[in-house]
């Protein structure tokens, strides 16, 4: 099992309980997957930033993040870019 889900579980157990209707994802993206995001998350169903904005977030030294939101359900994914310090070690 990857250590990343465990961090979230530890926060729920040892931290202040807080449940939200979203999911946090840590991903590694390059140009090819970025270009496919509108295909995978069609604009008629999902909010997803323009691919140029996502490419800028990926290019940032500290890496950025963006959101994908389902219009009808309101479910949100917070997408964080993989960095040299991730995956976390435990």
Sheet holding 46-47, edge to edge: 22-27, 76-81, 65-70, 46-47
Q: For residue 51, give its domain range.
A: 20-81
4 domain-assigned: no
Confidence tier at 89 by pLDDT (50, 70, 90): very low
pLDDT exceeds cutoff 70 at 26: yes
pLDDT at 59: 84
Number of independent structural domains in the chain: 1
Return d(Cα 70, Cα 50) in angstroms, integer: 15
Residue 90 lies in a domain: no
pLDDT at 90: 40
In a domain, 7, yes or no: no
Instruction: Write down the pLDDT at residue 84.
Output: 60
Query: Does the pLDDT of residue 12 top 70, yes or no?
Result: no
User: Model pTM?
Assistant: 0.68
Tell whether 15 is covered by a domain: no
Is residue 1, in this structure, part of any structural domain at all?
no
CB 76 within 8 A of CB 22: yes
């Amino acid at each position: 099992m990857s250590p990343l889900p465990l961090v979230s579980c530890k926060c729920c157990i040892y931290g202040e309980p807080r449940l939200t209707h979203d999911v946090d994802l840590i991903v590694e993206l390059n140009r090819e997957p970025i270009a496919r995001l509108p295909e995978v998350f069609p604009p008629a169903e999902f909010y997803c930033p323009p691919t140029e904005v996502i490419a800028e977030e990926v290019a940032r030294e500290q890496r950025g993040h963006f959101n994908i939101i389902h219009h009808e359900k309101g479910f949100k994914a917070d997408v964080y870019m993989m960095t040299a310090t991730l995956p976390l070690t435990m």
